Amino acid sequence: MEPQDKNVGPIFYLIYSSIENVVFDEQQLKNLLNKSRDFNQENDITGILLYVKGQLITKSKGRFMQLLEGDERIVRKLYKKIMTDQRHESVVLLQIGQYGKRIFNDWSLGFEDSDDDSFQSLSGHFNLNDIIEYCNKSSPSDVPLQFLRSFYNEG
């Protein structure tokens, strides 16, 4: 039996946003990235997690937006776990649906203007500006990517 092509659809997706309960430090973000990437690989979940950093000085909290793609049962179960995760508050389901094929071949974590070189070496990390450029090239009818762009523009 041959492995299933991840790009064959249709594929279920879910998009949510949340606010961090406390400002994450570098090690907490690295742990989140590593654990999430491992879980998602084991469960054939792809997608993207966007993070805009909070600031201790202004007491602003960071924001997350995540798009998850995969088996509907597994993605919904993961979302329920995220809703009860004490690291998040104000978890809001933005959209669920299906599209013809996966948009993302892997799962990645994007940071806004991450100039910290220690994150650059982590598998799955990218600068948030890179994905926004991709979203800007998408069609207005590509609703999931428009959500990602709106998250970035709110910052």
Residues 6+ apart with CB under 8 A from 106: 46, 124
Residue 128 or 78, more confident: 78
Residue 89 or 140, more confident: 89
Q: Which tens digit of pLDDT belongs to each residue from 87-138? A: 889 999 999 999 888 888 877 665 554 444 544 444 454 555 555 565 556 5
pTM for this prediction:
0.71
Residue 121 or 32, more confident: 32
- Between CA 78 and CA 50, with CA 73 as vertex, the angle to 5 degrees is 40
Give the N- to C-terminal CA distance of the chain in Å, as an integer: 47
Range scoring the smallest mean pLDDT among 4-13, 65-74, 92-101, 124-133: 124-133
* Per-residue confidence (pLDDT) for residue 24, from 0 to 100: 79
Which pLDDT band holds residue 28 (cuts at 50, 70, 90)? Answer: confident
- DSSP label of 112: T
* Per-residue confidence (pLDDT) for residue 53, from 0 to 100: 77
* Per-residue confidence (pLDDT) for residue 78, from 0 to 100: 96
- Judge whether 67 and 97 are in contact, CB under 8 Å: no
